[in-house]
Structure 1
Amino acid sequence: MDFDQVRLHLNAYKENDQVIDAAKYLLYSFDLEHENFAGFGLRKAIPNLFLLITEGELGEPQKVMIPPNLFDFDLNLVLNVIAHEMLHVRQKSSINTVEDKNEREFQAYYEMLFHKVFPKIPNASDFHKKIFADKAFEYYRRMGENSELQQKYAAQKKEIEQLISILL
């Protein structure tokens, strides 16, 4: 992937206040599209912070809400966060629905670290990887001590622990 070309396109969209078109461009460019995706919508911007939210009932098409200042942030981080939300779009489809929120979030943070579903997504900084890992561990804990879900994701948890030990 030619990131200079991607940045050029994003800057053109940004100059024309086409945030939603820029986000759609990233979906196409990084193979993030899914049939359960209902589109992007705009949500209120928060200075120095960006938050994306996937909206929609389980089994129904999902809309991803993005702030107008989304592309003021590091592109690798933005791509990882969009991939996180697009994984939620897949998880909430009527096919292979992941009903448990803790499981959905653990899977999404794991994806932000290892890019197994979306291999074109670049790595985030080590600083952000540590944050993603902490969030994954938080949702893993919420699954319940020695629960069936924790057992299901024990190998992935170990992968995250190994990655973090390298980053420290």
Structure 2
Amino acid sequence: MKSKSEIVQILQSYHELGQTEAAALFLLEEFDIKHPNFKGIKFREKAEPSFILFTAEGEIGDPQIIRIPENAFEFPFELIINLLAHEMIHVIQKSPDYKIQDRNEREWQAYCEMCFHEIFPKVPNASKKQRLFFANKALEYYNRMEKDGKLQKKYSSQKLEIEQFIKNLEK
């Protein structure tokens, strides 16, 4: 695997050439973030520093595209690779093998991945501030699940891990 400085240099070259899709595909390859249900990259409006939106789009059971901002590579690569990993989790969840219907469960799983990198272990950590944001978003989606319902019970031990993760980051 390439060093961080090599990766940043490659991404900068792609960005300067206006090859945002190639940059995203490079990251997916470099960090082994792949799934057969992934259909490709499409673009959306430019992101602002306070709001960067990536989405996985397609009907559940069908191949998915990941839509990213045209200017995605103006932001720290650790954040971008975590956002790509988050969306690839959705690609997997929406695949014919899983077809996870509940949005709260999908978001819970994807935000947990951004904290712990269990499915995509090569993905580097984002900044401490961003990881706190991811962990709190995970809890937000957990709390949207039916109180004491099937999903909250299914993820109760993971919720404790997220709460401990937050405590550790806040030290």
SS at match of 1:102: helix
Q: What is the CA deviation profile of residues 39-69 of structure 1, one whole-angstrom value per residue up to 9, with x for unaligned ones?
A: 0001111332321111100000000111111
Report the Cα distance in structure 2 between the residues aligned to 1:165 and 1:8, rounded to whole angstroms.
35
Structure 2: distance between partners of 1:8 and 1:99 = 39
Taking only aligned residues, the RMSD between alpha carbons, in angstroms, comes to 0.9
- In structure 2, what residue type is equivalent to 1:153? Y
Structure 1 residue corresponding to 2:106, chosen from 104, 107, 131: 104
Please report the TM-score for the alignment, with normalisation by the length of structure 1.
Answer: 0.97
Equivalent position of 1:43 in the other structure: 44
Aligned to 1:19: 20
Q: Which residue of 2 aligns with 1:94?
A: 96
2:151 — aligned with what?
Answer: 149
Distance apart, 1:11 and its partner CA: 1.1
Task: Provide the TM-score with structure 2 as the length reference.
Answer: 0.95
Give me the whole-angstrom Cα distance separating, in 2, the residues matched to 1:35 and 1:64.
Answer: 13
Amino acid at match of 1:41: K
1:9-33 deviation per Cα after TM superposition (whole angstroms, max 9, x unaligned)? 1111111000000000000000001
- The whole-number CA distance in structure 2 between the counterparts of 1:46 and 1:9 is 21
> For residue 66 of structure 2, what is the amino acid of its counterpart?
V
The 8 Å contact of residues 50 and 69 in structure 1, kept in 2 or not, is answered as no
2:9 matched residue in structure 1:
8
Identity %: 47
SS of equivalent residue, structure 2 residue 148? coil
Provide the C-alpha distance between the structure 2 equivalents of 1:138 and 1:163, rounded to a whole number of angstroms.
Answer: 15
CA distance in 1, matches of 2:118, 2:157: 14
AA at the equivalent of 1:137? L
1:51-93 Cα offsets, whole Å, 9 max, x none, are 1111100000000111111011111111111100000000000
- Report how many aligned residue pairs link the two structures: 168
Contact 2:28 2:34 in 1 (8 A): yes
1:69 to 62, 68, 71: 71
2:118 aligned with 1:116:
yes
Amino acid of the structure 2 residue aligned with 1:14: H
Instruction: Say whether residues 1:81 and 2:83 are aligned partners.
Output: yes
